Amino acid sequence: MSAAVTEATRADAAAPVRRAARRAPAVFTALALALVALAVVSAGSGQLSIPPDQVLGAFARGWNDAVRAVGLDALAVPPGVAMAHVNGEATLWLIRVPRLLMAVLVGAALATAGVVMQGVFRNPLAEPGVIGISSGAAVGASASIVFGLTFLGPVTLPVLAFAGGLAATVVVYASARADGRTEVVTLVLTGIAVNAVGGAAIALFTFLGSTQEREQIVFWQLGSLNGTRWSDLAIVAPLAIVGIAACLLLSSSLDLLALGERQTEHLGVRVELLRVVAIVVVALLTCAAVAFCGIIGFVGLVVPHLMRMLLGPGHRLLTPASALGGAALLLAADLVARTAVPGSDLPIGMLTALIGGPFFFWLLRRTRRRSGGWG
């Protein structure tokens, strides 16, 4: 009797995994198509409207130039429809394509960082801002604005923001580590303290700055992709790609960590090393994202939950799906930011907060209704 019950229990536990595996091809296909459609629409939208067929033609010509430059002429595609407007090509390649690629990279980076944070903390409410990375980056950016620091030229602000985020991560991790182990609760509480100190420092810089500097600090805190250049992408892209690849490699270990630290250790995974690597990767992804675009909240919270509802908790599917979902979400938010108010560029962080805030409340109510909360 007990063997039959055990077998039935295993079958019941495996059922959601099988359903997620069957659903995965449709989910990934839908995400990829949505991302491509949003990229085409976003590239053609703005003060200078470009029809989709001309956008696709420009992409085809750009692809042909790239493959011919490396001697792969066999991969060339038909050139497509020519651009009707004389400034269409310049607008597309100098302004819109860098911006939409930055949206894809930043959205994927933040969503992937959120997945890893939730897996490491084993808490569905964890996201990169929990350990103070965003606050540290904002302090570095605010200092650059108020003190007029330009020792690295136009990349001074992003570099200081990156350094501020990494410094906050080091402080939080060093404070939470004791006797060769990292206490998760202490890590979260220290992150809250760092966020509070960072908020006070930002308030001080805002008080000290001029009216123009205050406006710049506030706008940076709200997040924006406006003014993205190819040189910015050259810095962000390698960091984001390496970070996302590292998260994919951590997927199987994060699945084991869900069983509990002791069980994970028995299965041969060094939990402390896993936690250190995960925190470093999250810091890398988040700092790379916020350094050039400002603080963009809730992407790391909303997207992993949506993907988890569709694909279940397994990180091997959840991580790449979240990367695609985050890219699509931020691309859609940026499209709205550019086109909702004619002649204006809305802060993208404000839009993601408008989406993420109600979702957060709904998540709390849903969890309380189903299981009485998290503890």
Q: Which domains does the chain have, with CATH numbers?
A: 100-371 (1.10.3470.10)
Give CA angle at 276 (275, 278), nearest 5°.
Answer: 65
- In angstroms, what CA-CA distances link 323 with 89, 248, 266, 326? 29, 10, 30, 5
User: What are the backbone dihedrals phi and psi of residue 177, each rounded to the nearest 5 degrees, phi first?
Assistant: -95, 130
Eight-state DSSP code of residue 342: T
- Look at the pTM and tell me if it is higher than 0.75: yes
CA 143 from centroid of its chain's CA atoms = 24
Task: Name residue, tokens 């390496």.
Answer: 242
pLDDT at residue 197, rounded to an integer: 92
The CA distance from 375 to 367, in Å, is 11
DSSP states along 279-332:
HHHHHHHHHHHHHHH----SHHHHHHHHHHHHH-S-HHHHHHHHHHHHHHHHHH
Cα-based distances in Å from 271 to 2, 3, 160, 169, 278: 33, 32, 32, 19, 10
Q: What is the pLDDT of residue 32?
A: 95
Distance CA 278, CA 169 (A): 12
Q: Both tokens of residue 67?
A: 């493959």
How many Cβ atoms sit within 10 Å of the Cβ of residue 8? 10
Distance CA 115, CA 311 (A): 13
- 130: its two tokens: 């929990």
User: Which candidate, 39, 24, 56, places its Cα nearest to that of 107?
Assistant: 39
Residue by residue, DSSP assigns 194-262 as HHHHHHHHHHHHHHHS-HHHHHHHHHHHH---TT--HHHHHHHHHHHHHHHHHHHHTHHHHHHHTT-HH
Q: State the helix-helix crossing angle for 230-249 and 271-293, rounded to 10 degrees.
A: 160
**Spatial distance between the Cα atoms of 372 and 364, rounded to a whole number of angstroms:** 10
pLDDT of 5: 42
**Alpha carbon distance 251, 321 (integer Å):** 12
Q: What are phi and psi of 14, to 5 degrees?
A: -80, -15
Give the per-residue SS3 of 257-294. Answer: HCCCHHHHHHCCCCHHHHHHHHHHHHHHHHHHHHHHHC
**Tell me, what's the pLDDT at 34?**
95
Contact 349/294 with Cβ under 8 angstroms? yes
State which residues of the chain have pLDDT below 50. Answer: 1-2, 5-13
Residue 46 DSSP class: S
